Amino acid sequence: MMILDRGDIVKLNGNREGEITSLPTDFMANSHYEVTLTNGDKVWVKEDSILYKIDQDSVDDINNYFEIIYDKNGVHLIPKNLDEIVIDDDNDMLKSMSFKTNGDTKHSEITIHIGDTVITNKEPEKEEEDTNNKKHRII
């Protein structure tokens, strides 16, 4: 159970964000939170629709940590000021990758939680030897 108060900024399901304006204990709230969304709309939601509270002091732009490139092959995240990568795959249920940075940013570590997805190391492709090579060593 989360402890939420008026004025808290929250992330809701459906990729929505908003500020709590009324609590479930308020008159006529019917066990719901009133949330004013970023677009100004007001909605009533149950607690299970609130994913998490957003800590405004910790929020930072992802562009401070990654160069983001979009192209026909997909989305490419290129870490900035990368110092170290730690892969934690000891826990079968919650595997993660942590990027340690050495830059002048609000956070020094970025963690990507990948759940139970298998982590594989892609081996570089070996070049085939050219058997028709005309060069031979003469002794």
- How would residue 17 be classed by pLDDT, with cut points 50, 70 and 90? very high
Whole-number Å distance between alpha carbons of 138 and 136: 6
Q: Does residue 3 register a pLDDT over 60?
A: yes
Q: What is the pLDDT of residue 86?
A: 87
Tokens for 83, please give them. Answer: 């110092």
The model's pLDDT over 61-84, given as tens digits with 9 standing for 90+, comes to 889 899 999 999 999 999 888 888
Same domain, yes or no, for 13 and 34?
yes
Same domain, yes or no, for 85 and 42?
no
Give the number of domains in the chain: 2
Q: Does residue 136 register a pLDDT over 50?
A: no
Mean pLDDT value of segment 2-20: 93
Same domain, yes or no, for 104 and 66?
yes
b vs e for 92-120, b when ≥16 Cβ sit within 10 Å of the residue's Cβ?
Answer: eeebbeebebeeeeeeeebeeeeeeeeee
In-domain check, residue 127: no
* 44: containing domain: 9-54
The model's pLDDT over 24-66, given as tens digits with 9 standing for 90+, comes to 887 777 789 999 999 999 999 999 999 999 998 888 888 989 9
Same domain, yes or no, for 43 and 66?
no
